[in-house]
Structure 1
Amino acid sequence: MNYFGTDGIRGTYDDALINARFLKRVGYAIGSYLKEFLHIAHPKVAIGRDPRTSGEELEKALVEGLRYWNVQCFMLGVVPTPVVSFACNKNPQADLGIMITASHNPFNDNGIKLFKSSGEKLSVAEEKEIENFIDRFPTYPAAKEDLKNDRKNYDALKPYKQFIVSLCPKNFLKKKKFLIDTANGATTYTASEILTSLGAEVISMGDEPDGVNINDKVGSEHPQLLAKSCSKRAVPLGFAFDGDGDRVVFCDENSKIVDGDQILGLLALHYLRTKKLKNNTLVATIHSNMGLDNAIKEAGGTVFRTQVGDRNVYYSMKEQGSNLGGESSGHVIFGDIKNTGDGLLTLLQVLMVMEKTQKRLADLRTEITLYPQVNLSLKVAEKKPLECMSELQEFLAMAEKELGNQGRVLVRYSGTENKIRLLSECENPQQAFAILRRIEKIVHKELSIIG
């Protein structure tokens, strides 16, 4: 793939891909894809964005490219990513959705995520078709005389909020108090209102987006701030979203951050005990902790692992006949309700498990005992193929043999950033740390590390 990564197209604003010129070509290619490949006579596209300053310019460029094909554009404004998915399969039932966002990345990055009419993210094969259309037209064609200005502002937030609230018992959060960190991002305009409508008292932070402060020392990438604030303000539970709101991080009653694998585990265990987990299978990624597998296996279930990325999780769920899957980063997909990750939905589903079991989050998390795990991300100048690094491959093979079934190592490139991610996990934390440091040393020899 030349343009698409793990989760759409992403990069630094005004680089080779994330600029108005290229996004205009992308808009034109998407219009051509809808008309010529899917044969939709009068296509409709829903477009949302997070609060980044570059979002409006990129939005304008996409619309200009789409207009060449007389595509009707529903402009959703600043909304969380799940609202764009909702706009495809619920209201206004668009043929394709585009979310302009770089998710948890800093404000100077941006990108696009694409959704089909079902609300699912496009498959790799579908993204490849769009890449073919992009490459077919290296420059944007001359404008036609009869272009329509078919652009309509559309309020998708209202029906989305109504839908989310309808999934919950009325006032089931009455007398509950929460602290939420909306990362100066898109959930600033949804999370507090929805939680309050269900009866909760909400204290907000990271709720003053100005276009440049998204994810800046707030949100899911900086959960330690949430934990500190919960402790200082004596708030029982806290939640931190990422910039576009498709994932969430939890802080429990002891002001401790809950690992994403423990969230996946407590949800899967509840599904197993209530006989709701289809095929008794939870889908997780290669990044998830081995302790998650152990907890689910002991309860009579199975963990199926797939590659990193919530799109990979969803399509693996379909293949495995499962209705629950997610990532340790906080993405969770509830297949019986929606087909993409939604941080707010995840939050409410966990709260409902707590309500039904009458257990605290701090107690539920203890049912999933995780192996000690150490991680490191390094920024790289170039993504040299890992299989070409002989010293690294030899050490990884040796480490895996040494650990056996009591641990594991993982080295991979990020699909959304120029980073290499290192992971070491085993029962002995000192051993895990020593292995990671050895891998880091080899990577520094093999690659050009920035910073």
Structure 2
Amino acid sequence: MRLFGTDGIRGVANKSPMTPFHIMKVGGALANYFKKTKSHRPKILIGKDTRLSGYMLESSLAAGITAMGGDVLLVGPMPTPGIAFLTKNINADAGVVISASHNPYMDNGIKVFNCDGVKLSDSAEKEIEKIALSANIHHLLPASARIGKNVRVDDALGRYIVFLKNSLPRDFSLEGMKIALDCANGATYKIAPMIFSELRAEVKTIGASPDGTNINKNCGSLYPEKLANMVLKEGSDAGFAFDGDGDRLIAVDEKGHVMAGDELIAVISNFLKENRQLKNNFVVGTVMSNYGLRKYLEQKGIRSSMTKVGDKYVLEEMHKRGAVIGGEDSGHIIFLNHHSTGDGLLTALQLISVMKHTKKKLSELRKVMKRYPQVLINVPVGKRADFKKVPELKKAYDEASAKLAGRGRVLIRYSGTQLLLRIMVEGPSHKEISKIAEGLARIFKKKLS
């Protein structure tokens, strides 16, 4: 049995591994691991989003940690990047988020940060998994006098708000501006309206009434249409949509146009370059970044690299290249001079700071990048064969790439979790790329299914 996947532990609530039984063992394993590596009673921070199962899993996790001799700091509903910040700010040994991000309420998961607010290494996860799955984990329990305790952190939200405000220029104010927010009925439901109101903006909010089952339900960053309509109806200067755990941002300009992550990266990196703040003149994206972002970076003379999909790989590449901005089209964007992980609220504040500094509307700023149409087709396959070693498939791929040379691109890759081949085609015309993508899908399906 495996617990940790590509982004922590995840599954359907009350089914393995997201049951109270399994999560209590994970809590015990976390406490035992950090007790050994830190040589003191571990202090572990726990936060969550607004899912119904969060209460159950929070109690189980805390029980496992305290039973193994660790102390627990409870902060309640808090965005994932807030937990990353607080772990370091409060000097905890680790921080745990109970969330399944943008997934529906039935799912839940666990992400773990180390004392620096960075996700655990693969080796650390393997060691924790080994302890949690051990049949002898109960033999590791300490004497009753060494059981840990739970403490609630009452000022967690305030600490995180101060951190976010410190990313802005001194005396920064949004007075006179109208801001629309969609909090996805998730972890930002309280803090997002609070921070924009404290900055003196006129705030209108949807998706801020969580009931345990409506997180991400037809709202938030996956469904920005409602926010776009509200922006137009209220005459807002900008709209910001977050996902369930608050680590992503999708924006809407005053004309109701939706802006995904790549466009936000383009707008903010352009501002940083013009103000000589784009360290090493470098931006990090992923292989799924829109072709328009690549063209923009090329035209502006900004160096870049594209990693595998996943914020972990983006962060590694940013450290390697000395970059201060990088991210994904999903809206998960990292500002390394401020934070160690993607942060939807931080991204929103950086974007609106650009608007204030340049005195330009978001619809004008977004013109820096032209988004290219994209078609994505998933092809079921029997196995993950190297298609470049199959002459017919390599020929089809090469011919399709040649047709779009300098005008678009073809990306073919396998899913990391399913037997699917993903064919993505980007180019100047939706009609043209649809024809190319469908033609490739027919050939690949015939050969690989």
Fold similarity call, TM over 0.5: yes
- Matched position secondary structure for 1:250: strand
**Displacement of 1:160:** 0.8
**Displacement of 1:276:** 1.1
In 2 relative to 1, CA 297–417 (structure 1 residues): closer, same or farther, beyond 3 Å?
same
TM-score (norm 2): 0.90
- Matched position secondary structure for 2:211: coil
Query: What is the match of residue 95 of structure 1?
Result: 93
Tell which deviates more after alignment, 157-166 or 431-440: 431-440
Q: Please give the alpha-carbon distance, in whole angstroms, between the structure 2 residues aligned to 1:446 and 1:74.
A: 54
Query: What is the match of residue 343 of structure 1?
Result: 344
Count of residue pairs the alignment pairs up: 442
Q: Please give the alpha-carbon distance, in whole angstroms, between the structure 2 residues aligned to 1:284 and 1:111.
A: 26
TM-score (norm 1): 0.90
**Displacement of 1:233:** 2.8
In 2 relative to 1, CA 320–65 (structure 1 residues): closer, same or farther, beyond 3 Å?
same
Q: Please give the alpha-carbon distance, in whole angstroms, between the structure 1 residues aligned to 2:190 and 2:415.
A: 29
Query: What is the match of residue 230 of structure 2?
Result: 229
**Structure 1 residue 51 corresponds to structure 2 residue 50:** yes
In 2 relative to 1, CA 273–186 (structure 1 residues): closer, same or farther, beyond 3 Å?
same
Query: What is the match of residue 121 of structure 2?
Result: 123
**Displacement of 1:387:** 2.8
Q: Is the 8 A contact 1:268 1:296 kept in 2?
A: no
Tell which deviates more after alignment, 291-300 or 315-324: 291-300
Q: CA RMSD in A?
A: 2.6
Q: How does 1:412-451 map to 2 (within 5 A)?
A: 412=413, 422-438=423-439
Q: Please give the alpha-carbon distance, in whole angstroms, between the structure 1 residues aligned to 2:197 and 2:214.
A: 25
Q: Is the 8 A contact 1:7 1:415 kept in 2?
A: no
Q: Please give the alpha-carbon distance, in whole angstroms, between the structure 2 residues aligned to 1:442 and 1:213.
A: 41
Q: Please give the alpha-carbon distance, in whole angstroms, between the structure 2 residues aligned to 1:175 and 1:249.
A: 22
Query: What is the match of residue 42 of structure 1?
Result: 41
In 2 relative to 1, CA 52–385 (structure 1 residues): closer, same or farther, beyond 3 Å?
farther
Identity of aligned residues (%): 38
Q: Please give the alpha-carbon distance, in whole angstroms, between the structure 1 residues aligned to 2:84 and 2:346.
A: 13
Query: What is the match of residue 107 of structure 2?
Result: 109
**Displacement of 1:298:** 2.0
Q: How does 1:244-255 map to 2 (within 5 A)?
A: 244-255=245-256
Structure 1: 5+ residue stretches without partners: none
Query: What is the match of residue 138 of structure 2?
Result: 141
Q: Please give the alpha-carbon distance, in whole angstroms, between the structure 1 residues aligned to 2:394 and 2:20.
A: 41
Query: What is the match of residue 74 of structure 2?
Result: 75
- Matched position secondary structure for 2:404: helix
- Matched position secondary structure for 1:73: strand
In 2 relative to 1, CA 245–442 (structure 1 residues): closer, same or farther, beyond 3 Å?
farther
Q: Please give the alpha-carbon distance, in whole angstroms, between the structure 2 residues aligned to 1:80 and 1:414.
A: 28
Q: Deviations over 1:173-222 (max 9, x none)?
A: 00100110000001001000000000101001011000000000000010
Query: What is the match of residue 181 of structure 1?
Result: 182
Q: Please give the alpha-carbon distance, in whole angstroms, between the structure 2 residues aligned to 1:398 and 1:238.
A: 42
Q: Is the 8 A contact 2:131 2:137 kept in 1?
A: no
Q: Is the 8 A contact 2:376 2:423 kept in 1?
A: yes
Q: Please give the alpha-carbon distance, in whole angstroms, between the structure 2 residues aligned to 1:102 and 1:120.
A: 18
Q: Please give the alpha-carbon distance, in whole angstroms, between the structure 2 residues aligned to 1:395 and 1:103.
A: 37
Q: Is the 8 A contact 2:288 2:329 kept in 1?
A: yes
Structure 2: 5+ residue stretches without partners: none
Q: Deviations over 1:242-283 (max 9, x none)?
A: 001111110001111013211101111111111111111101
Query: What is the match of residue 329 of structure 2?
Result: 328
Query: What is the match of residue 386 of structure 1?
Result: 384
- Matched position secondary structure for 1:431: helix
Letter of the aligned partner of 2:218 in structure 1? K
**Displacement of 1:394:** 6.7
**Displacement of 1:236:** 2.8
- Matched position secondary structure for 2:437: helix
Q: Is the 8 A contact 2:68 2:142 kept in 1?
A: no
Q: Deviations over 1:1-30 (max 9, x none)?
A: 933333222222233322222212222222
- Matched position secondary structure for 1:99: strand
Query: What is the match of residue 289 of structure 2?
Result: 288
In 2 relative to 1, CA 319–128 (structure 1 residues): closer, same or farther, beyond 3 Å?
farther
**Displacement of 1:234:** 2.6
Tell which deviates more after alignment, 64-73 or 110-119: 64-73
Query: What is the match of residue 312 of structure 1?
Result: 313
**Displacement of 1:445:** 6.8
**Displacement of 1:140:** 4.6
In 2 relative to 1, CA 407–185 (structure 1 residues): closer, same or farther, beyond 3 Å?
same
Q: Please give the alpha-carbon distance, in whole angstroms, between the structure 2 residues aligned to 1:175 and 1:10.
A: 43
Query: What is the match of residue 8 of structure 2?
Result: 8
In 2 relative to 1, CA 75–442 (structure 1 residues): closer, same or farther, beyond 3 Å?
farther
- Matched position secondary structure for 2:239: strand
Query: What is the match of residue 30 of structure 1?
Result: 30
Q: Is the 8 A contact 1:97 1:115 kept in 2?
A: yes
**Displacement of 1:86:** 1.2
**Displacement of 1:124:** 2.9
Tell which deviates more after alignment, 231-240 or 327-336: 231-240
